Amino acid sequence: MTLLFAPPPPVLVPTSDGHDYPVRRIFCVGRNYAEHAREMGFDPDREPPFFFTKWAETVVLSDAAVPYPQATSDFQHEVELVVAIGSSGRDIPVDAALDHVWGYAVGLDMTRRDLQMAARAKGRPWDTGKNVEASSPIGTLHPRAALGDAASGTIGLTVNGAVRQRADLSMLIWSVPEVVAFLSGLYRLEPGDLIYTGTPAGVAPVVAGDVLEASIAGLAPLRVTIAPPAP
C-alpha cells in the first residue's frame, strides 16, 4: 500500500539536554489563577479544574513567528507553565503525579478572545477560540529537576519590552501534581502529552509586529513575534 499523501511531520520540542520531545496531545487548564478568573468575570472559588484541548500541530517553537490568525480582531496572549508528561498512567494519585512528569517549559496559550467569549456566552465549545493555528508557542523543555514540583517561581510576559503579565507559580489554584492527577482521571496520560496549566492576570490583545517574551524563573525564555496574517 502507498500513502495517498505525505503524513504530517512529527511535532518536536527541543530539550535542554539535547533531545527532541515528540508532542502527542495538548491539554490546557482554564482559570487556574484567581486574579485571571476575576478579570474574566468569575468568582475564583476552588471549583474542580476544567480542561480544553488543542492539536499538537499548533505548537510553535521559540524565535519563530506567529501569524495573526484569521477570523479575529482580538488575539490575546496567555503566558503559562507547560508540563510535559513522560510516562503513561490513568487515575494517578496526587502524591505519585510528579513521577509522570518529564519536565517543564514556558508556553503561550494564544487565544482568539472574541470567538472564545462568543462561544462562552452561548454555552458552546471553545475550540474556535482556543484551538487555533500557531496558537501554542513553547520554549525549550527542561527536565523536572529544573523546577521540581513547580510550586513557586516568577512567571511573566513582556510585549515590546513592557510588562503585561507577572505573577508567581505559587498562585496556581490547582498545583502541578493536582492538575496531573485530575486530568489522569479523565484520560490515560501518555508520553508526549503537554499540559498548559493556565495563565495569571493581565491577558491582552496583540498586533502584528509585537515581540512577546515569556519567562519562568529557572527555564529558558520563550520569544515569538506576531507576524502579519499568513496568505
Q: Which of residues 50-69 bind Mn ion (CB under 5 A)?
A: none
The least CB distance from residue 40 to Mn ion, in Å, is 10
What does DSSP assign to residue 171?
A: G
3-class secondary-structure state, position 130: helix
Residue nearest to Mn ion (CB): 109
Nearer to Mn ion, 78 or 193 (CB): 78
In terms of C-beta density within 10 A (0-12 exposed, 13-18 middle, 19 or more buried), how is residue 11 classed? buried
CB under 5 A: which stretch of 11-19, 60-68, 101-109, 163-171 binds Mn ion? 101-109
Nearer to Mn ion, 18 or 114 (CB): 114
Residue 61, C-alpha cell as written in the block: 517553537
CB under 5 A: which stretch of 15-23, 87-95, 150-158, 197-205 binds Mn ion? 197-205
Q: Does 135 bind Mn ion (CB under 5 A)?
A: no
The least CB distance from residue 9 to Mn ion, in Å, is 26
- Write down how long the chain is: 231
Q: Does 199 bind Mn ion (CB under 5 A)?
A: yes
Residue 8, C-alpha cell as written in the block: 504530517
In angstroms, the CA 164 to CA 156 distance is 8
Q: Does 193 bind Mn ion (CB under 5 A)?
A: no
Nearer to Mn ion, 109 or 193 (CB): 109
The least CB distance from residue 105 to Mn ion, in Å, is 14
Q: Which of 27, 78, 139, 179 binds Mn ion (CB under 5 A)?
A: 78
Nearer to Mn ion, 46 or 95 (CB): 46
Q: Which of 13, 83, 109, 212 binds Mn ion (CB under 5 A)?
A: 109
The least CB distance from residue 19 to Mn ion, in Å, is 26
Beta bridge mates, 25? 193
In angstroms, the CA 99 to CA 92 distance is 10
Q: Provide the Cα torsion 128, 55, 36, 91; round to 10°.
A: 130
The site for Mn ion (CB under 5 A) is made up of: 78, 109, 199
